[in-house]
Amino acid sequence: MFRRRPFRPPPFRPLGRRPPPPVAPRVRRALRRAHEALERGDAAEAARIFRRLGEEAERRGMPLRAAIAFAEAAYAEAVGGDARRAVEEGERAVEIGAHLGRPGRVAPAVGRVIEALRRGGHEAEAAELEARLDAALEAVGTSRREVADRLAAARGQRRAQLPAKCEACGAPLLPDEVEWHDDTTASCPYCGSPIKAV
């Protein structure tokens, strides 16, 4: 005789956007290689890997991950001194974020590109990328100042501290760039792995 299992309601999940699933191990390894290349000063190799990952994410229908990868490629190009390529990749990231209606999601990463361009003495290129980002943010009714204020307010409410790097892909974890799910859980913006803040 078969016994029927008792009914159990599904586990509680808060409303809101569900985080995308973590990326494949192959992609995590590529992300780790890119971050290691950037740490050792091989910006061209890091930019090449990030660009390839962005193109692959775009082909696979993962636009937010593509935008973040292109922003990282732009940052690597800016650090490496190729200002023109940095602007092209940065504008690509902003364009994808704007198309999704979420340019604020890529604003911190693109802001790091703008800062790197300025540190490298490429003021004209930094101003060009800054104007593109500001226009995209203005189109959705916000500004970089408002994005920064919201992130600072959210940061002030959280008491948990993120680890310095993602264990899965080696990416640096910045509180402004991760996607927080609750006070102690975030996901890596690069590989999507869950991160426990302590």
CATH, residue 42: 1.25.40.10
Angle formed at CA 43 by CA 67 and CA 169, multiple of 5 degrees: 60
**CA end-to-end span of the chain:** 50
Q: Is residue 64 part of a domain?
A: yes
Host domain of residue 74: 25-157
Q: What pTM was estimated for this model as a whole?
A: 0.81
Structure confidence at residue 148 (pLDDT): 79
In this model, does residue 144 exceed pLDDT 70?
Answer: yes
Determine the Cα–Cα distance for residues 97 and 93; give it in Å rounded to an integer. Answer: 6
Domains identified in the chain, total number = 1
- pLDDT band, residue 160 (cuts 50/70/90): confident
- Residue closest to 189 by CA, chosen among 178, 174, 197: 178
Could you tell me how far CA 30 lies from the centroid of its own chain? 16
Determine the Cα–Cα distance for residues 184 and 194; give it in Å rounded to an integer. Answer: 10
Residues 109-121 have a mean pLDDT of: 94
Q: Is residue 14 part of a domain?
A: no
Structure confidence at residue 6 (pLDDT): 64
**Which strands make up the sheet holding 194-196, listed edge to edge?**
179-180, 185-187, 194-196
Tokens for 47?
A: 């930019």
Q: Is residue 5 part of a domain?
A: no
